[in-house]
Amino acid sequence: MSQPLLKDDLDIVIPTIRSLDFLEMWRPIFEPYHLIIIQDGDPNKEIKVPEGFDYELYNRNDINRILGPKASCISFKDSACRCFGFLISKKKYIFTIDDDCFVAKDPSGKDINVLAQHIQNLLTPSTPFFFNTLYDPFREGTDFVRGYPFSMREGVPTALSHGLWLNIPDYDAPTQLVKPLERNTSSNRYVDAVMTIPKGTLFPMCGMNLAFNRELVGPAMYFHLMGDGQPVGRYDDMFCGWCVKVVCDHLNLGVKTGLPYLWHSKASNPFVNLKKEFKGIYWQEEMIPFFQGVILPKDCTTAEACYIELSKQVKEKLSSIDPYFEKLGDAMVTWIEAWQEYNPPLVAKTTDGPVVVRKGGDEPTPKTK
């Protein structure tokens, strides 16, 4: 029996403030993998993990214990807390999913294996420099079209795979309010395509069905400060997406969007969402031109170096919008410090042989197995 793809190289990160019963439906696909569950909200609440899953579970007390003062960069009472799982994972790949997402069926009625498709997306190159009109040329049954430069057909490594959603689409509150009954169904809105987002183009990254290569872009996968005590919500994944796309463009890494679909079951309350989002809706009109104009120095050759540079520019150029960005720039630095503590490059290759460049932090002690 063949091993599930990347079984020992991929962690599944789930933020939850509700319940993990949804895992029952995913059991055939997720059970072979290690789960990192980030329990948000009241740490004294008991969250039941269905039998048979291999997991570590962290609540707010654990995050505070493990990170100490650096825990200030991890959001509380917001799905942005999921990035703590990205930080303490030891695996090369991450898949993150919300607890109201289920297995979707493709138009033929077949269950969609989101992990298999994300892994396929991540393990095949991206083509950010020249658009292929038959979309992802590395998929079965398709290829580069006539006129596609052969010098560009090797593509670049793929850093991030952004999946989509049937049933409840990820709309902002105003759109949700004017289209409360709109549903994506496999008959009318299933688009059978994976495409590379071209270099120089930003995109609205949603965190509910997302996979990425931690070794390539982990340090840039910080879900920004939201939730308790913050002036904005539901922009954690958006801010992160703009940062990581700028970093990928600079490092010539690829970002893909499209398949796989999952079934998003619950529409969150549009009035609550409007309150969370409203500042983000007008801030983004200034943020997008900022991110479109970001230039990173040539000597930024890693996601970590790019991110530190980005944090400086966020503070310098966005704080005029709102003091929040001053705090955000600092939180981005704290995130990198925490990342370095838990993900030290243990060995640097030098002409004199391997040298330990930085001692790793203690292993975080998860709450349960």
Ligand X SMILES: O=c1ccn([C@@H]2O[C@H](COP(=O)(O)OP(=O)(O)O[C@H]3O[C@@H](CO)[C@H](O)[C@H]3O)[C@@H](O)[C@H]2O)c(=O)[nH]1
How far is 10 from 213, CA to CA, in rounded Å?
Answer: 9
Query: Contact 238/204 with Cβ under 8 angstroms?
Result: yes
244 binds ligand X (CB under 6 A): no
CA distance 218 to 10: 13
Q: Which residues make Cβ contacts (< 8 Å) with residue 221, sequence separation at least 6?
A: 83, 86, 94, 212, 214, 240, 244
Q: Does 237 bind ligand X (CB under 6 A)?
A: yes
Distance between CA atoms of residues 362 and 123, nearest Å = 31
Least separation, in Å, of the C-beta of 136 and ligand X?
24
Separation between Cα atoms, residue 248 and residue 242, nearest integer Å: 10
H helices present in 252-358, as ranges: 270-293, 303-318, 324-342
Structure tokens at 89: 């994972």
Residue closer to ligand X (CB basis): 135 or 283: 283
Q: Is 62 or 78 the residue whose CB approaches ligand X more closely?
A: 78
Contact pattern for ligand X over residues 164 through 183, marking x by CB under 6 A: ------x-------------
Which one of Mn ion, ligand X, none is in contact with 27 (Cβ closer than 5 to 8 A by kind)? Answer: none
The dihedral over CA atoms of 27, 30, 32, 37, expressed in degrees to the nearest 10, equals -110
Contact status: 100 vs Mn ion (CB under 5 A): yes
- Of residues 206 and 338, the one with the C-beta less far from Mn ion: 206
Q: For residues 17-56, which are near ligand X according to CB under 6 A?
A: 17-18, 40
Nearer to ligand X by C-beta: 6 or 83?
83
Among Mn ion, ligand X, none, partner that 40 touches (CB below 5 to 8 angstroms by kind)? ligand X
Site for ligand X contains 304 (CB under 6 A): no
Asked whether position 207 contacts ligand X by CB under 6 A, the answer is yes
Here's the x/- map for ligand X, 87-106, by CB under 6 A: it reads as -----------xxx------
| Cβ contacts of 249 within 8 Å, gap of 6 or more | 128, 199, 200
Give the nearer residue to Mn ion in terms of CB position, either 11 or 170. 170
Residue 78 binding: pick among ligand X, Mn ion, none (C-beta 5-8 Å cut-off by kind):
ligand X
**Cβ closer to Mn ion: 100 or 322?**
100
Q: Distance (Å, rounded) from C-alpha 106 to C-alpha 109?
A: 5
Q: Mark residue 367 as left, alpha or beta (left: phi above 0; alpha: psi -120 to 50; beta: remaining).
A: alpha
Applying CB under 6 A, the span of 51-59, 74-82, 119-127, 330-338 interacting with ligand X comes to 74-82
DSSP element (H, E) containing 236: helix 236-251
Q: Which does 126 bind (CB under 5 to 8 A by kind): Mn ion, ligand X, none?
A: none
| Binding-site ranges for ligand X (CB under 6 A) | 15-18, 40, 77-79, 81, 98-100, 170, 206-208, 227, 234, 236-237, 266, 268
| Binding-site ranges for Mn ion (CB under 5 A) | 98, 100, 266
